[in-house]
């Protein structure tokens, strides 16, 4: 079964953002008189929705969920300037704007939003879900939750000189932006030893394997300063919805121990996979287990609530 998708443009702080909307299968065990839950998803570090998100969106939609996948401002097919500059707070705001747009879609239950994120966006889902009553579930897959921990995690791979050089370039790019000058750009991903944001062994080949036509292998170098202060794990204990934390035990990108700690704070269901960061994408060994766990998690937490709502709570 393949559910159709439509393209939607929504506003995030005055900028048009591009999204795909999958209404989901015609009938669904997740449906109630109020509608069906909607999954709001975006990609991770410098990612675009056409770079590996659709297989997950399709499987969730085929199971009877609505899915709203979007590009952040300045990335992919969304508008916004400057291009390829990551603002952690800005991307969290884009998630919030996407939630508003997703709730407006026909057949959606506006009080049952599922936040779905991978890598960096896995951290965003924790930040955005905190304190919200309309979020009914959170899925954080191979999430980046602590920027400082990620820096320590990468130190043995890149060394002190490379990290110092990257910091200096990032400061220079941030200052240039404040002065109205063009930022310093760097590749998102490169091979070990190259000057790029991600240089772990195999990452260059793995990222390019999922890269879609709108993806660009460049990012504003100031991202290093943003990441250093990113602490999504601090939001974990303020989430009231059930959380699924999916951790790659040999993750070279997002430190698994930091994700595990955040999962404990969020009282999450935690699943471990003996793989690296990109091995959870379609075409790799751990995609099927990962998507199966997502569906079983959502079925366990949302269909019982659906049955209660449909019967008016009668026993």
pLDDT digits (tens, 9 = 90+) for 252-262: 999 999 999 99
Check if the beta carbon of residue 43 is closer than 8 Å to that of residue 53. yes
Does residue 195 register a pLDDT over 70?
A: yes
CA distances from 245 to 51, 65, 170, 256, 295 (A): 21, 20, 31, 10, 13
Q: Could you check whether the bond before residue 82 is cis, i.e. omega within 30 degrees of 0?
A: yes
Does residue 314 register a pLDDT over 70?
A: no
Q: How confident is the model at residue 126 (pLDDT cuts 50, 70, 90)?
A: very high
Q: How confident is the model at residue 311 (pLDDT cuts 50, 70, 90)?
A: very low
Using the CB atoms, write b or e for 67-89: b if 16+ within 10 Å. bbbbbbbbbbbbbbeebbbbbbe
pLDDT digits (tens, 9 = 90+) for 91-125: 999 999 999 999 999 999 999 999 999 999 999 99
Structure-block tokens of residue 209: 């394997």
Q: Which residue has the higher pLDDT, 294 or 226?
A: 294
Report d(CA 123, CA 187) in Å as an integer.
22
Instruction: Determine the pLDDT at residue 224.
Output: 75
Alpha helices in the chain (DSSP H): 54-62, 88-103, 120-129, 147-178, 203-210, 223-228, 256-265, 287-298, 304-310
Grouping H, G, I as helix, E, B as strand and the rest as coil, residue 197 is coil
Check if the beta carbon of residue 199 is closer than 8 Å to that of residue 157. yes
Q: Which residue has the higher pLDDT, 68 or 174?
A: 68
Instruction: Provide, rounded to the nearest whole percent, the portion of the chain with pLDDT above 70.
Output: 85
Computed over every residue of the chain, the mean pLDDT equals 89
Instruction: Determine the pLDDT at residue 281.
Output: 98
Report d(CA 274, CA 254) in Å as an integer.
14
242, 261, 229, 262: which is closest to 302 by C-alpha? 242
Domains of the chain with CATH codes: 6-147+231-309 (3.40.50.1820)
Instruction: Determine the pLDDT at residue 150.
Output: 76
Report d(CA 160, CA 72) in Å as an integer.
32
Check if the beta carbon of residue 247 is closer than 8 Å to that of residue 263. yes
Weakest-pLDDT range from 115-124, 159-168, 236-245: 159-168
Report d(CA 82, CA 80) in Å as an integer.
6
Q: How confident is the model at residue 222 (pLDDT cuts 50, 70, 90)?
A: confident
pLDDT digits (tens, 9 = 90+) for 19-71: 999 999 998 999 999 999 999 999 999 999 999 999 999 999 999 999 999 99
Report d(CA 185, CA 202) in Å as an integer.
22
Q: How confident is the model at residue 173 (pLDDT cuts 50, 70, 90)?
A: very low
Instruction: Determine the pLDDT at residue 223.
Output: 81
Report d(CA 43, CA 53) in Å as an integer.
7
Q: How confident is the model at residue 155 (pLDDT cuts 50, 70, 90)?
A: very low
120, 116, 139: which is closest to 263 by C-alpha? 139
Question: In the predicted model, what is the mean pLDDT of residues 161-186?
Answer: 55
Does residue 77 register a pLDDT over 50?
A: yes
180, 13, 177, 194: which is closest to 84 by C-alpha? 177
Instruction: Determine the pLDDT at residue 277.
Output: 97
Residue with tokens 């795909």: 20
Q: In the Cβ-directed half-sphere of 185, how many Cα atoms lie within 13 Å? A: 12
Grouping H, G, I as helix, E, B as strand and the rest as coil, residue 270 is strand
Instruction: Determine the pLDDT at residue 172.
Output: 46
Beta bridge partners of 16: 11
Q: In the Cβ-directed half-sphere of 160, how many Cα atoms lie within 13 Å? A: 0
């Amino acid at each position: 079964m393949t559910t159709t998708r439509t393209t939607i443009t929504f506003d995030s702080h005055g900028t048009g953002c591009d999204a795909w909307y999958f209404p989901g299968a015609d009938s669904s065990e997740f449906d109630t008189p109020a509608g069906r839950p909607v999954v709001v998803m975006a990609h991770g570090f410098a990612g675009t929705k056409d770079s590996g998100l659709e297989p997950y969106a399709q499987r969730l939609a085929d199971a009877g969920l609505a899915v709203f996948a979007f590009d952040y401002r300045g990335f992919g097919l969304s508008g916004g300037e400057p291009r390829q500059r990551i603002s952690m707070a800005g991307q969290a705001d884009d998630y919030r704007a996407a939630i508003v747009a997703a709730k407006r879609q026909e057949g959606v239950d506006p009080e049952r939003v599922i936040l779905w994120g991978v890598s960096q966006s896995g951290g965003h889902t924790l930040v955005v879900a905190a304190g919200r009553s309309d979020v009914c579930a959170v899925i954080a897959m191979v999430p980046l939750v602590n920027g400082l921990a990620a820096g320590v995690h990468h130190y043995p791979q890149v060394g002190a000189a490379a990290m110092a050089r990257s910091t200096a370039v990032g400061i220079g790019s941030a200052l240039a932006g404040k002065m109205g000058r063009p930022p310093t750009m760097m590749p998102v991903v490169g091979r070990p030893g190259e000057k790029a944001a991600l240089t772990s062994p195999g990452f260059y080949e793995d990222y390019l394997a999922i890269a879609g036509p709108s993806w660009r292998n460049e990012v504003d170098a100031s991202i290093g300063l943003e990441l250093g202060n990113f602490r999504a794990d601090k939001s974990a204990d303020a989430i009231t919805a059930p959380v699924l934390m999916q951790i790659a035990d040999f993750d070279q990108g997002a430190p698994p121990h930091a994700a595990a700690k955040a999962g404990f704070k969020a009282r999450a269901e935690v699943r471990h996979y003996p793989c690296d960061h990109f091995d959870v994408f379609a075409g790799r060994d751990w995609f099927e287990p990962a998507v199966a766990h997502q569906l079983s998690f959502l079925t366990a937490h949302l269909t019982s609530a659906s049955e209660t709502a449909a019967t008016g709570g009668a026993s």
